[in-house]
Chains A and B, each alone.
Chain A
Amino acid sequence: MAEIKINARGLQCPGPIVQLFKEAKTCACGDILCIEVTDHGFKKDIASWCKKTNNILLSLDEENGVVKARIKKA
């Protein structure tokens, strides 16, 4: 299982969620997506995205203003 790192820091409109959609489309089930963003609104978005896509949110942390999420592709 691959671990894919996405640097979505600095992205605003349309935001890091678009980046995540792209990567999630190409990766395989069980892969882990690690995304880092500076858009704080992403915290809410990622929870909603995982719920709607059935992907699994493994962790969601914030460190020094950077939001880090780990998602397992379902």
Chain B
Amino acid sequence: MESENVVIIGGVAAGTKAAAKARRENPDLKVTVLTRESYVSYAGCGLPYYIGDVIKEEKELVVKKPKDFLIDYDIEVITGIEALKIAPEEKTVTAKYLSDGAVREFKYDKLVLATGASPFIPPVKGKELGNIVTVRTLTEAFAIKKLFRERKIKKAVVVGGGMIGLEVAENLVHTGIKTTVVELAPHILPPFDQDAARYVEKYLKEKGVEILTGAAVKGFEANSRGEVGAVLVEDSRLEADLAVLSVGVRPNVELARECGIQIGPTGAIAVNSKMEASISNIYAVGDCAENTNLITGRTVWYPMGSTANKTGRVAGINLSGTQTKDRINGVLGTSIIKLFDLNAAKTGLSEREAKSAGYDVVTALVPAPDRAHYYPGSRDIITKLIADRNSRRVLGGQIFGEGVVDKPIDILATAITFGATVDQLAKLDLAYSPPFSTAMSSTIVSANVMLNKLAGKFVGISPLDLKEKMEKGAVLVDVRSTEEYFVRSIPGSINIPLRELASRAGEIDRNSEIILYCRVGLRSYMAFLKLKRMGFEKISMLEGGIIAYPFATE
């Protein structure tokens, strides 16, 4: 029997994963990868660090070279070739060599689309000027590095405050460039909730990154050399000799659309859990394909490296013709970012997403040390837990701070995947000794705080609502020691240490709304219980204490 032809269009993460997996499953397959680029199988997510010189040389980013695929896997990788047309009836792909324009036809039995996604370029004036770049491919990153070698770049504007934009901004700062991030959405890191995003914003500003939110870029102005000289943002003009566009990516679906493959509601290629597209014998994987949200079951589009590799593997197994079949039921959009010494991660639904999905949402914002507070190296992390009041199911989480966040976010991702309730989360048997965690780990503490909240044991308010409440006459009481209050406090607060609360409660007007806060929330909870016993009625506590407070303190 003649061996089956597998043609894969695209050769970064998902494409090469599908190719390698298909080959391992069925060594009789003839696998060909076609890619427009000169590089394959490279670490796209590492590009910002290459710009910042954390990664010194290009070879560190290239996982495998085209010839490695031939030698190691017997997979033919053809670079510099662009797929022009798919003919599903004939089962052919027509492609053109970029070097000489020669056209060649490839016959397939199974076709995998791994065409990826491309940066969205905002349609504004001057977008084609020199030194306006995107950071998506290795080739683009090389060009930026070359520019740094040739010219001293002083000021940069990063358009887009998503994960990649912020990573690029940090790395530009490391190379000594004064950097401003401009974000159109009300806050940076749009997938995160505002309380987490504002915290990150405050941190980045302390590190010297300028950040403008809710600000639209209107255009780019040229300097005398015809390169970018300034970025026009709303009514102002930001001088810049480099502009990085990082306003998100769009799936590359033209090839699929033109041959009649169904495009889903998100604009990416519609697929089932086996990664099959709407036309038989065609699969779509990685950033060009849609995903399913594991919690809501809704169709989503999460263009992420971790998901790309998984979907590539699923398609590789399914198309190999062996008995084994594989499925991916959904993803949570789990993601993580490091910015200077700050880490931030998210999984599942944000508060905003959970509300729009119709859940009766309850949240808790809880700071805790990442390991025993007395063990050197301990750092605070803040957990925002999101759950459904009715089913008590954990829906999502966001964890941020200078401590270890990858472990607790992965605990949450695992818990959510298996449908855990907040009650179950609170009783997880997690590893503990002082260098690693606390006897009651941050995850368990946050679950317990939420259980208290669900039971109505305290009333919490979000730091985002504090300002408005104070403007309406709420009294903010800091129950930490006078010394802590002296060093740093929230503007407009008064100080009554917890130990003096019983004797000084008379100083507080019973008729006003009283908001209590401390460092993390424990002393304010005790103060809450104390005042409640004394007959105070309109009391609440600031969730997350001063540690998680994302605005200016004094």
Which A residues have a C-beta under 8 Å from some C-beta of B? 9-10, 12-15, 17-18, 20-21, 38-41, 44-45, 48-49, 52, 64-66
Q: Which stretch from B220-228, B326-334, B459-467, B476-484 is at the chain A interface?
A: B476-484
Count of CB-CB pairs between chains A and B under 8 Å: 58
Q: Is there contact, CB below 8 Å, between A13 and B483?
A: no
Nearest opposing residue in chain A for B547, CB measure = A41
Known contacts A13-B519, A45-B488: does B483 contact A21 (CB below 8 Å)? yes
CB<8 Å pairs between A and B, sample of 16? A9-B374, A9-B376, A12-B369, A13-B520, A14-B480, A18-B481, A18-B484, A38-B374, A39-B373, A40-B379, A41-B380, A41-B547, A48-B487, A49-B487, A52-B486, A65-B377
Residues in chain B near residue A13, CB distance under 8 A: 480, 518-520, 522-523
Given contacts A13-B480, A13-B520, A65-B376, 8 further A-B contacts (CB under 8 A): A14-B481, A14-B483, A14-B519, A15-B484, A17-B483, A20-B483, A48-B487, A64-B376
Residues in chain A near residue B481, CB distance under 8 A: 14, 18
Q: Does B378 contact A (CB under 8 A)?
A: yes
Kindly list the 4 A-B residue pairs having the minimum CB-CB distance in the complex, ordered from nearest: A65-B376, A65-B377, A10-B374, A14-B481
Q: Which of A10, A14, A49, A66 contacts B373 (CB 8 A)?
A: A10
Q: Does B423 contact A (CB under 8 A)?
A: no
Q: Which of B379, B487, B520, B523 contacts A45 (CB 8 A)?
A: B487
A15 to B375, CA, bound (A): 15
Q: Which of B402, B487, B523, B547 contacts A52 (CB 8 A)?
A: B487
Tell me, rounded to whole Å, the shortest Cβ–Cβ distance linking B378 to chain A: 6
Tell me, rounded to whole Å, the shortest Cβ–Cβ distance linking A6 to chain B: 14
Q: Would you call the interface of chain B mostly helix, strand, loop, or mixed?
A: loop
Nearest opposing residue in chain A for B486, CB measure = A52
Which B residues have a C-beta under 8 Å from some C-beta of A? 369, 373-380, 402, 480-481, 483-484, 486-488, 518-520, 522-523, 547
Q: Which of B377, B483, B522 contacts A18 (CB 8 A)?
A: B483
Residues in chain A near residue B518, CB distance under 8 A: 13
Residues in chain A near residue B484, CB distance under 8 A: 14-15, 17-18
Residues in chain B near residue A18, CB distance under 8 A: 481, 483-484
Q: Is there contact, CB below 8 Å, between B487 and A12?
A: no
Tell me, rounded to whole Å, the shortest Cβ–Cβ distance linking A14 to chain B: 4
Residues in chain A near residue B376, CB distance under 8 A: 9, 38, 64-66
Nearest opposing residue in chain B for A36, CB measure = B376
Residues in chain B near residue A65, CB distance under 8 A: 375-378
Residues in chain A near residue B480, CB distance under 8 A: 13-14
A66 to B519, CA, bound (A): 21
Tell me, rounded to whole Å, the shortest Cβ–Cβ distance linking A60 to chain B: 15
Tell me, rounded to whole Å, the shortest Cβ–Cβ distance linking B37 to chain A: 43
Residues in chain B near residue A21, CB distance under 8 A: 483
Nearest opposing residue in chain A for B376, CB measure = A65
A39 to B402, CA, bound (A): 12
Known contacts A13-B518, A13-B520, A13-B522: does B377 contact A64 (CB below 8 Å)? yes
Residues in chain A near residue B378, CB distance under 8 A: 38-40, 65
Nearest opposing residue in chain B for A39, CB measure = B373
Nearest opposing residue in chain A for B341, CB measure = A40
A29 to B379, CA, bound (A): 33
A52 to B553, CA, bound (A): 14
Tell me, rounded to whole Å, the shortest Cβ–Cβ distance linking A8 to chain B: 11
Q: Which of A10, A40, A48, A52 contacts B380 (CB 8 A)?
A: A40
A4 to B483, CA, bound (A): 20
Nearest opposing residue in chain B for A66, CB measure = B376
Residues in chain B near residue A49, CB distance under 8 A: 486-487
Tell me, rounded to whole Å, the shortest Cβ–Cβ distance linking B349 to chain A: 30
